[in-house]
Structures are given as C-alpha cells and as structure tokens.
Structure 1
Amino acid sequence: MKSKLGNPSVAPPAFERSSGCQSHGLEIPNGAVVTYSPEGQLDTSSLSWYVIHILSYSWTCKSDTTSGLPGAIQAVVQSSAQPECSILLITDNTIQSHEFPQIIEETGVEGGAGVYDLSLEAIPTNTTVEEVTYIMKKFQELSRCLLIILSSVDSTFLRMFASIYLDSPFILWPTKLVVATRLPLQDLRKLHFAVAVTNSVIITQEEPQNEECNIYVIIPYSLRIVKTASWSKVKGLLVTSDIGLFPEKFYILPDGAELMAAAEEYPPHCKLQEIAATETTPERLEFSGPMLITLEILARSMNFTYRMVRPPDMSWGYQLPDGSWVGMVGMVLRKEVDMALGPFGINPLRKSVVDFTRTMLVDYVRIAAKQGKSEVDPWGFIMPLAPSVWAGVLVSLAVIMGIVMTLSHLVPLGDDSLMKQDGLAYIRVFLGQDVFITSGPWWARFMIFAWMLATLILTRSYGGNLMSLLAVRYIPQPLQSLRKVLDDSSVTMVWESNTEYTQYIMSVTSGIFHEVAESEKSGRMAYTTGSDYGITLENLVAKGDHVLIIEDLSLRMLLAEHFTKSGNCEFYMSSELFLPSAMAMITQKNSPLGPAMDERIKALTESGLYTYWINNAVPNSTSCSNPPSRITVESTLKIANIWGMFVMLGGGFLPPEQPSGWSGTHFRNFGRIRSLNFLPQL
C-alpha cells in the first residue's frame, strides 16, 4: 500500500505491510516498513518529522534475505558500515521492502534507517529529483555518518541519481554509496565518473539465475574498473583486491593523474617569472616559491602531476553583482582547474562555492608609506620649545612687567630703581644680558630674582633640547594606522584588486572600512595587482602621496627586495595590523582531494617547514621591518641648516622707528649683551 505523507500532528506516515516482521521502539503495525511513494506530493513540513522518526525505528524480520543482491548488500554493509551510521535505501523494488529490515538487523547498524520506494513504472521527474535531494540532505543532517544504498535496474534513474549525487553540496567523502543493480557493467558507463570521484562501490548480479554478485571500484581520473570482491551464498564475501571495498582512492591516486592548478603572483608565497621564447621553446611562465614547494610535495606523495595556469584577469576571486565569480575562485567553481594555490583568505562567501584546505598561516594587512626626510630644519632652533611654551613665556613676561610697572607708579622709587630703566630689565634677563640693581624695594628685587630663576631653567632646557635636535634627527613616520590615513586627505590608498579584503570593504555599511569604501568616491582609492607591487611602491608610494595596503608577509618581502636593490630603507610599515585572515589553498566543492591534501599540509605547517621556506624566500627580511624614526649624526652644520638664525639676527639690526619722547639713553644697556640664550650652544 502506498500513500502520501500525512500531517505529523494528525497521523503517522503511511506503512507498507509485509508478513513475518516485527518493529521495536515504536508501536506500529506488525511487519510495517516505513515507505514514501514518489506518486504523492512532497510535503517538506511533514518530511522533517518523517525522517526524524525513521531514524528511531529498528526492525526484526524473519524472511530470507541471504541470496542474490540483498545478500551481497548485507555483506558489504556489514563489513563497511559503522554501528552509529544511518542507512538510506533508495530502491525501485529491486530489493523488496520487506527484505530491507532484515538487512539492517543483520548488519547491526544502530543509527536508524529509511526507505525511498521508487516504483518501476514511475518516470523520474524534476519533482523526483527534488524529493531524493531533500531526503538525502535530511539524513545527512541527522546522522553522524551515512551509507546510501541505491538499488535500481532503471538506467535513466541511475544516471539521474549520479547527477544529483555529484551536485549535492552536502555529500561529503565519509558518506558511502553502494550501487546495486542487475544491469550489465557496460550499461553503467554514465555512472562510472560519479562512482570514481565518490566513496562508492558497484554491486552487480548480471545473471538472475546465478546468485553470485561482483563488487567493483572505479579508479578516479583513469576510470579503470577494479573488481575488489565477490559474494555468493556459499562462500560469502571474498575480498580479492588489496585496495579493499571502500579504498581511500584519493589519498594516493592508484593510476596517477594530471591535475590543473591555478596560481597568481603573491610574494613571498608564489613568485612568477615570464621566460622569453627561444628558437626551440615558446614563451612560458615559471612559478616558484613556498607554495610551489608545497604543491610539489603533494604531487609526489599523492601520485599526480600538475599543469600550472594563470587566471586571465590576474585576480584571486571576486563575486560580481550578477552572482558570478571571477579570478581563481571562479576558475575552481567552474571546474576549469582542480585547485588554486593562493593561499586564499578564508571567508564565508568563498566557502559557499569552493572548499578550503587546512589553514596554512594567518596573515594581516599593513600599510606601507614613504618615510620623511632627516634634514635639519633651518628654523629648527624654534623647535626645542613647543608653541604653547613660547606663548606662555611671552604672556608671563608681559604680565610680570605689567605688575611691576603698576606697582612702580603706586610706590615712589629712587632714581636708580629698576623701573627707572624703563622696565627693560626683564627683557634683558630673558635675553641673557646683565642687569644692575643698586636700590629698590624688596618686592622689586624678589620679582627680578624669581624671573631670573625661571629664565635659567627655561634656557637650560632650551639648550639641551636644541643640542639633541641638532645631533639626533627625527624621521617622520606619521601614517601608523588606517585612521591616520583617512584623516590625511592628501593621501591616496592603493589596494590589491578583486581580493577578499576589497570585497569585504565594499560590503560593510558602517565603521572605518565603510569610510574607506566611501573614499573611493573622492578618488582616494586605487587598485593594483600582485605582479605590480614593486612598480606601485617605486612609482606611487615613493612620491609620498600614496600608501600601499597589502598583507604583512608580502610587504616584508617587497621592502626586503627594495633594500637589496637600493641599500636603504625609504619606506616604513605601519604599527597597526588589521583585517586578520586565515589562509589556505582551495579545491572544488566537496572534492576528495581536499581531505587527502590536509594531512600533508598539517605535517608541513606543524613541523615549521612552511615558515622556514617563507623566511628563506625573503633575504634581508628584517632589514626594513622596523626602520628607526630617530638617527644620530656627527656631521658639521652648514649654512643651509642654520640660515634661519641669521635671518632673525639680521632683523634685529634693522633700525627701529624711535618713539616720541625716547632718547638714546633708553638703549644704552643693549651694548652690554653677554650672550643670546636663543643660541646658547653656538
């Protein structure tokens, strides 16, 4: 009896009765097998309930299932399935519904089981495809591990299922597939590729009168068919091949393969060199670097050769507004290549279309900028004191002179008093001139003493700072963070095009990275490629009005190469690190190559080999990692360094306009200058 799935809140799923069976764990009719008919309309709300309850059933049947295909399936499942796994049977009645519970009971599988019953007369439709896909997905979600048994003699349905199985993103390598059929092996050619690239075996019983069944494995890439075992009621399961029933076909490829790998220049991980054509060889690209060493180790240990290609747009991978992908990610997604080296930054958007291998390293983004010049500022003699200090000194001088002059008018003073010298005594003290005081009130003497003490401390501090400025020169490195770059409107940022960083920046709607994206509207963002890092550094960043924003390791490599060529460190790296990214290689979605590569990559990274290769690939890597912002010099000063002082001195010799009522005696004390504390060390 076949029927649609019922409403889970009203009635349980439909059952198909068979004699001689009992169910345990749930009160259902004797001998019931839970089935689902493709003739009914799929109800996804009830299907979730349906699958959950299938996994809670267990059966015991007394019917004979130890002959033909059922017996072979039972033997294969019993030898391969783990006890906690679930089993899903998709059948067109090649295996009778009442035979399946016996298979489950004999294998000892405790993870539960379910049946999708496809009638022989049913014609596979799009609805059937959706139903099969949905049921497999539900079982995969609810199971710790899954074994799927596909039993059919319908070649059309087998081809359809192969397409579904290959395109299902939830089918992983641990999921095992047993294809059981009575069709001749040569009629299953369109199924060979799907079986070859998945964890699958084929069981055939080509002669119904002969109960013997053969089990085959198809080798990936070569599609060579290997008979791994046979089964008969008398002899049972006999494994005839060293590779076993479900071999790890991709851990070491039995017949080898030529794989396609994409790469783009990404120093220090991957270097690219264009080799010019000769009379005997065409122009070609030569790749090198730690990523190529890693690929070579993977190739030797997994038994494959490889051919390198470069993405036409020379980019990593970026999703366009129409949903398509460009760059190396797009090439892997479209299966134009088997893998791409990168390493690529791992993010959810990319992970939805490709698979990442084990993390190889974690890198950050940093800013590279041009260092300032270390020349002496001709007006540097003003720099020992901050503008606020100069202002405070002048204000204090004016206030003190105002107080003393006010008091001198209120209190009668003698002819030789301080204030009879027109109040210039405080200015003379500040300039280091002598002052004679022979009489005067105590408060006048106290005021001049306090001013002398403050001036002494000020001039000594000025002299010490001036000496330091002349001997230790400061090299400006102002752009130490992304905020500093954004605040300086004269600076243009250069990012690498079509990367996870630019895609992330363009996707955020608030925060500092949104400000970065908005700066593109004002022309403050430019783009480059990994191959043009050096050109960008020397032609744009060297001008001082551009900064290059790339990964930390790539930046260290770039500055080291520049130091090797020029012998100096003209650029500096920001102290701020941002946009951390775990990085790895990428493979096609659900590709079994990924798990096989992970174990090798784990060994390389945990042993420190990849870090070692990185360090060796970057000579002089530490030379410009932390360039000094201050340097000590012993060279003599030149006129070009101190002409500002002579300008000020010349300004002091200009004859001033004499105020009315003043006489020459007002300036008599200027002739007795001892020293100018503006230049105490010169």
Structure 2
Amino acid sequence: MKKIHRAISTTKSSYSCVIPLRLFGNTEIEDAAVEYNNTKRKLALIAETDSSVLAEGFHHLHSQDSRSLVLTRLHSEADARGFQEIFEETKGINWLLLGDSTFPELLRHIYLPVDNKVVITKADADPLSATFWQAYQAAPSLEQKVLPVGRWRRRYSGDLPPGVNQSDSAPSDSPGERMEDEYFSVKTITKRLTFGVARLPQGSIMLQRRDLTGLHLRCTTVENPPYTFLEYRSGGRVDVLGFIGSLFRHLKEVTNFTSDCHRVKDGGFGMVSDGEWTGMVGEVHRGEADIIVANLDLTLKRSAVVDFLIGVGQNQYVAIMKRPEKGDEMWTGYVKEFEQNVWIVLPFFVLTSILCAYFALRFHYSECTNVLSEAAITVIGFLLGQGSPLLPTQISLRILFLTILLFHVVLLAHYTSDLVSSLAAGPSLSKFSSLQDVAKDPKLQLGYTRETSLHDYLRDSSVEAIRQIWLSNRDKNFVSLTGSLHEGLERVLKGNYVFMKTEMAIHYNYGQDCRIYILPSAYFPGLYTIAVAKGSPFRHVFNKIILDARASGLLDKWMKAAVPKLADCSALSTSAIELNLVLVTFLVLGMAVLVSLGIFLLEYCVAKSKSFRGESGETPGRSRMVNNYMIK
C-alpha cells in the first residue's frame, strides 16, 4: 500500500495520482487524471487523513460531475464511519478507497447500493501491485457482494509498447504469471498507464452489476392488452403477460430478482387528483410498490415522483366511433341521398315549375278552369316519371315540359344510384376524420379511460378545438370517461360516442372488428416504458438490459407478436335487406293509401251531394282542355 501512496505528489499547488477514471465508467479519461486545483475545483483528493479532515475536504467539492473523485484511506473503523457519513449524503461521486485485507469487514455494515461508484484497492503480496474491487448489495438486508474488477502493476511487460492496448485474451501482465479472465467480475482490458500496467474494466462497472439474487420487488400493474395481460393467482397476486410482461420477465431472468405483482387498486395509470397522485404512480410514490409494470406514458409531471426507464415503444392516440350500419338508417335511408341544401332547393324548383306551367296553360287556354291543379299534377307526374294526357303543341310548353323531364332524369339518376349502392353494399363511411370534426357535432361525446395521461394531453392541448372537448367534459363532470377499454367500446356501439385509446391497444383489441370506425388522424405521440421508485438504484442496470434487448431485436420480436393485422373492413359485402330498411317505405305507402282513401270518401260524399241536388259532377274545364289537345 505504501508503494501506491508514493505515487501521490505532496506539493501544495496540485496533486496527481495513477488512478484511472476508466474504473468509474468514464471512457473519456483513460490515464492518471486525479487532480485538484483551487481555481477549477473539478476534483477533490483527500489521502492519508482521518475522518474529520475527510469531511472538511469534501466541502471543497462544488461540482458532482462524473470526473470528480474522492480518494481516502480505509484502514480502521474510524475511516469507515467517516466514509459512511459523507457517502450517504451524496449521490454520483466517484470514490477510491485505499484499503487492506480488512476492507470487506469494514464495509460490511455500510449499505452500498447497486448504483454506487465506489472502488476499493487492496495491496497484493507483491508490494508493487494491487487489486481493484467492487462492493454492492441489491438491498440493505442482503449480503454484500465483494468482487474483483481489475488489477494494477507498477512494472509492465516489455512486449506492450506505450499506447497499445491488449484484449482480454492478451498474455499475462508480467512474465511467468497469468491471471484468468474469469477471475474478474466484469469484462476487462489490459492497458499501459503512465505508472505501470492495469487490467481495467471495459465500460461502466455499475452497469455490469446484474446479479440481484435475493432482491424482491413489489410491482403494480393494470390489464391493458396487448401491453399487459393478467393471470390472477391466490392472495390477490397476478402474473403479467403481454409485451410489457415479456420485458419484465426478461429483466428478472437476467438479474435473478423475484417479484410479487398486484393489480392497481383504483385501476388507473396515475394522475394528480385533489393534490394526490392516484393509480400506479400513486402506489409507487407512497411506497406501496417498487416498480410499475405497464405501458406508462413518459410525462413531465410523473417524472417528478417516479423514475422512468428508457422508452421501450412509442404511443399515439386514435379515436374510434361506431361504423355506420344499414339499421342505423331506418328513418334517414331514403333522404340521406341528398344533402339538406338539396332538399331545401327541390321544393322551390317544383313550385316554380308548377307556376310556369300554370301561366303557360292559362295563357293558351284561358277558357279552361282548374288550370292550377292540372299544372301541379302534370309537373309532379313528370318528376315521378309519369306521363300526361296533355299534348303540348306550343313551343313554350314543350320547352317547359322537356326541362322538367330532363331535371327528372338527372335527379332520379343521382338518387337511385346512391340508394341502390347503399342498400346493396351498406352505408358510406363516417364523415368524421379528426377531433376537430367531432368537436363540431354537439351530439357526439368524446371519452377515454380515467386516470391516464390523455386527460392532461387534452387539457393542455394547443389546439383550441381539442381543448374545448376537455372543457365540455369538465362542465359535464367527466361523465363520458370510462373505467376500461371494453366499457368504452360498449358506449361506442350504442352510438353518438367517440372513444380515445392508444393505437396499439385499439388495433390489438378491435382491429378485426368492423363494427367500429377508426378515425384516420392520430394524436399526442410519445414514449412509454416501465417506471421505478424515485432514486431507485436499479434503473441504470435495467436501462442497460433494455438497450441490449433492443439491439438484439428482442423488443421488436415481442412487439410484432403482440399486434395482429388489421381487418379489411372496406371489402364489399352483400346481405339480405332487413325489414327495418323497408319499413319506412311501407309506412309511406300505407299513409298514401289512407290519404287516397280519405280523399276518395270526400269526393264520393261531394258527388253524392251534387247528385242529390241534380248537379253534374263532370269538370267541364278539364274535359274541354283535353279535348282541345286531342283535336289539335
């Protein structure tokens, strides 16, 4: 150990040490780079001091960046207490403890979490060499793991030129001696330093601590296919399947921890309600669970109370509504062929045509009576495809009648083509394509699952029309919100209801259901992932495992297995016409029969009355006008 201490210069202006910061996961600094300067204050070096000097010197460390290193002695219980006092009050500091063979016993009562940045040196039997060790434990109650991570020698082999690295399979560090790679708990690389040769860890030590044996995590989850499926066990426990479930099982297999999962009590993901966090986020925040196993959206508010792991997928929200069906058009099936404006204009055209026919007939046959009724019957007959006993010989009447007949052809062509296609292939798709269209229709309600991030997305939207939807729901006390996706579908199928959910959930659960229509526009894209308790020491290890799973293609494999292909609901299909589609026709025909019967009875009574008084029931005006046409 004295040989290591001799490598430290004792001049007042600066200190230097042969400790490479590569040990701590910093790949930018590879050689002896522990320096302390009163102006830069980047690093603090405290060596061969008692605990009081260590505490005083630590106050000079203003910046806790990754290049900072605290170097101290670990030879006695007093050294261990001094280290523990400061270590528990700081996060992210690189520590190098200069210890001896007693260091495992001195550290045994100090909780060193998985994400600690502590390395211990222990002198070997050879006074010119030392071994680097790591110590960590998965939980305070578990046994501390003390494992070798590297080795340093004051002299180096002559076959290693300056600046040349050797791989893990390189020859031993000194002639006649070989240290097997399996001896170290991390991947190593041999490198020549300014003062000797070292076997150094490849990458971060912290990210390679994957043995969490004995750790038991409490997980909270919610059923949300295809992300999570729940299989219920005794005692309220559940097994999590699905895409997120596969990822969680992978984390358990790699790190060897155990878990007990339960369904979140209120069934929500988590939002702030009356100043308190609800859902899974609330359970982790209150310490009732350690990890959220679900597709939790990454939001700024949630990140204040939980730590998100690296995003495992991208979400975007889509809206669904009931697809138009034949049965929905029982009362509108025979009027929807034209828009409202067309139906408004059509009576004006009919009235105008009747008036034109009336004046034309009146002008040419001034002696005839009942010209108005004759003009109305003729025009309406033309529009309905009926002929007329009148034979117009005047050019003006011919032009008028031809115009009405031409209008009848165009009108009938458009009307019957739409009607026939609708009866044969079903109604056309919904006219709604975005939330803005939904907001314009006062009959429609928009809903979503309670306690999801979508609540905040709608409220904070920069699009005024979308924000008005949230305000409308608030004014109605959010009665349109549902407790689950299936409840949302039930309300959608009842009509006049639009439901929003993540695109992946909609495609998986209802991508084969042609009863619903998915609006083409998508909203609020963002990442989702698993979350752990704030400050959890496992987040770095879990993140590294997720990155490895993504690089190996496991995430894509699980994702593709979770989402089926969408059904082609645009394919034409025919079916027998149901009674409700023609019921309106029968009702109209029935009413026409009743009206005709009523008119017939009225005419019969009038004719009988005239016959009783000895009057003729013939209409002379019409008879003369028809006879005149026939003669001409």
> TM-score, with normalisation over the residues of structure 1?
0.65
Give 1:397's aligned amino acid: V
Could you tell me which of 339, 353, 363 is aligned with 2:315?
363
> What's the CA shift string for 1:270-315, capped at 9, x where partnerless?
111324x5xxxx5642322232222223333344444434434433
Deviation at 1:631, TM superposition (A): 5.2
1:227 is displaced (CA, Å) by 4.8
Cα offset, 1:364, TM superposition:
1.9
Q: 1:580 aligns with which of 501, 521, 525?
A: 525
By how many angstroms is 1:609 displaced?
Answer: 0.4
Deviation of 1:263 (Å): 2.5
Tell me the distance in 1 between the aligned counterparts of 2:212 and 2:393: 111
Q: Which residue of 2 aligns with 1:135?
A: 63
1:599 matched residue in structure 2: 547
Query: What residue number does 2:18 align with?
Result: 74
Counterparts of residues 177-326 of structure 1 (less than 5 Å): 177-180=95-98, 185=103, 186-194=105-113, 196-203=114-121, 215-221=132-138, 222-228=143-149, 241-243=183-185, 246=201, 248=205, 250-251=207-208, 253-254=210-211, 256-260=213-217, 261-275=219-233, 277=234, 284-319=237-272, 322=275, 325-326=277-278
Displacement after TM superposition at 1:326 (Å): 4.2
Deviations 1:562-593 (A, max 9, x none): x7xxxx75444333322222222234546322
Q: 1:546 to 1:462 in 2, by over 3 A?
A: closer
SS of 1:115's equivalent in the other structure is: coil
2:581 corresponds to 1:644: no
Which amino acid is 2:67 matched to?
L
Question: Hey, what's the Cα distance between the residues in 2 that align with 1:383 and 1:312?
Answer: 48
1:265 and 1:271 in contact (8 A); partners too: yes
8 Å contact 2:318–2:502 — kept in the other structure? yes
| Letter of the structure 2 residue corresponding to residue 258 of structure 1 | L
Is contact 2:44–2:68 with CA below 8 Å preserved after alignment?
Answer: no
Cα distance in 1, alignment partners of residues 625 and 331 from structure 2:
27
Offset at residue 150 of structure 1 (A): 3.4
Mean Cα displacement is larger for which, 413-422 or 347-356?
413-422
Comparing 243-252 with 340-349, greater Cα deviation is found at 243-252
The alpha-carbon deviation at position 477 of structure 1 amounts to 4.3
- 2:421 counterpart of 1:502: no
Query: Counterpart of 2:520 in 1: which secondary structure?
Result: coil
Letter of the 1:149 partner, please give it.
V
Residues of 1 paired with 2:624 and 2:516: CA distance? 53
| Structure 1 residues 513-524: aligned runs within 5 Å | 513-518=466-471, 519-524=473-478
CA distance in 2, matches of 1:583, 1:559: 21
| Partner deviation per Cα, 1:210-229 (whole Å, 9 max, x = no partner) | 99866431143241223556
Residue correspondence of structure 1 range 514-553 to structure 2 within 5 A = 514-518=467-471, 519-529=473-483, 532-538=484-490, 540-544=491-495, 546-553=497-504
- Report the alpha carbon displacement of residue 268 of structure 1 after superposing the two structures with TM: 1.0
| Equivalent pair of 2:457/2:524 in contact (CA under 8 Å) | no
Cα displacement (A) at 1:342: 1.4
Q: Is the 8 A contact 1:475 1:630 kept in 2?
A: no
- Determine the C-alpha separation between the residues in 1 that align with 2:432 and 2:304: 36
- Aligned with residue 399 of structure 2, among 446, 465, 482: 446
User: Which amino acid counterpart does residue 159 of structure 1 have in structure 2?
Assistant: Q
SS of match in other structure, 1:273: strand
Deviation at 1:267, TM superposition (A): 0.8
Give the share of equivalent positions with the same residue, in percent: 13
Equivalent positions of 1:11-30 (< 5 A) are none
Aligned partners of 2:20 and 2:32 also within 8 Å: no
Matches within 5 A, 1:461-480: 461-474=414-427, 477=430, 480=433
SS in 2 for 1:474: coil
Alpha-carbon shift at residue 423 of structure 1 (Å): 3.4
Q: 1:367 to 1:420 in 2, by over 3 A?
A: closer
Structure 2 partner of 1:392: 345
Q: What is the identity, as a one-letter code, of the residue corresponding to 2:531?
A: I
State the 1:86 CA deviation. 10
Contact map agreement 1:587 1:594 (CA 8 A) in 2: no
Q: What is the aligned counterpart of 2:599 among 630, 655, 663?
A: 655
C-alpha deviation, 1:555, in angstroms: 2.3
Q: Letter of the aligned partner of 1:270 in structure 2? A: T
| 1:42 equivalent in structure 2 | none
| Alignment correspondent of 1:160 | 85
Equivalences for residues 665-676 of structure 1 within 5 A: 665=620
Secondary structure of 1:299's counterpart equals helix
SS of 1:654's equivalent in the other structure is helix
Determine the C-alpha separation between the residues in 1 that align with 2:335 and 2:94: 80
The residue number in structure 1 matching 2:296 is 344
Rounded Cα–Cα distance in structure 2 between residues aligned with 1:580 and 1:669? 79
Seen in structure 2, the aligned counterparts of structure 1 residues 164 and 129 have a Cα distance that, compared at 3 Å, is farther
CA apart distance, 1:654: 3.4
Aligned-partner Cα distance in 2 for 1:307–1:669: 100
Q: How far apart are 1:599 and its partner, in Å? A: 2.6
Indicate whether 1:559 and 2:510 are aligned: yes
- Asked if the contact 1:272–1:288 (Cα under 8 Å) also holds between the matched residues in 2, the reply is yes
Call closer, same or farther: CA 1:670–1:161 in 2, change over 3 Å.
farther
State the distance in 2 between where 1:504 and 1:412 align. Answer: 73
Distance 1:495 1:85, change over 3 A: farther
1:332/1:339 contact within 8 Å kept: yes
* SS of corresponding position for 1:578: strand
Does the C-alpha gap of structure 1 residues 218 and 418 become closer, same or farther in structure 2, counting only changes over 3 Å? same
Tell me the residue number matched to 1:664. Answer: 619
Residue 613 of structure 1 and its aligned partner are, at CA, apart by 2.1
Query: Structure 1 CA distance, aligned partners of 2:27 and 2:415?
Result: 83
Change (3 A) 1:85 1:452: same
Report the CA distance shift for 1:401/1:258 in structure 2 as closer, same or farther (over 3 A): same
Per-residue CA deviations over 1:525-575 (Å, capped at 9, x if unaligned) read 44444xx4334534x444335443221222233336xx7xxxx75444333
Aligned to 1:114: 43
8 Å Cα contact 1:368-1:549 kept in structure 2: yes
Alignment-derived partner of residue 5 in structure 2: none
Q: Aligned residues, how many?
A: 550
8 Å CA contact 1:359, 1:584 repeated in 2: yes
Quickly say closer, same or farther: Cα 1:215–1:631, change in 2 above 3 A: closer
Asked if the contact 1:87–1:113 (Cα under 8 Å) also holds between the matched residues in 2, the reply is: no
- Is there any run of 5+ residues in structure 1 with no aligned partner, and where? 1-17, 22-30, 34-60, 66-72, 90-99, 105-110, 673-682
Contact 2:270 2:279 in 1 (8 A): yes
Distance 1:313 1:427 in 2: 65
Return the letter of the residue paired with 1:655. Answer: I
Q: 1:378 to 1:645 in 2, by over 3 A?
A: farther
* Whole-Å separation in 2 of the counterparts to 1:176 and 1:304: 27
2:228·2:240 contact (CA, 8 Å) conserved in 1? yes
SS at match of 1:450: helix
Q: Check conservation: 1:418, 1:444, Cα contact below 8 A.
A: no
The alignment's TM-score, normalised by the length of structure 2, stands at 0.70
For residues 34-57 of structure 1, give each alpha carbon's deviation from its aligned partner in whole angstroms, at most 9, with x where no partner exists: xxxxxxxxxxxxxxxxxxxxxxxx
Q: Would the aligned equivalents of 2:317 and 2:525 in 1 still touch at CA under 8 Å?
A: yes
Please, which moves more after superposition, 592-601 or 501-510? 501-510
3-state secondary structure, aligned to 1:392: helix
Select the residue among 614, 637, 660 that pairs with 2:562.
614
Deviations 1:181-210 (A, max 9, x none): 68952344454414x53232023689xxx9
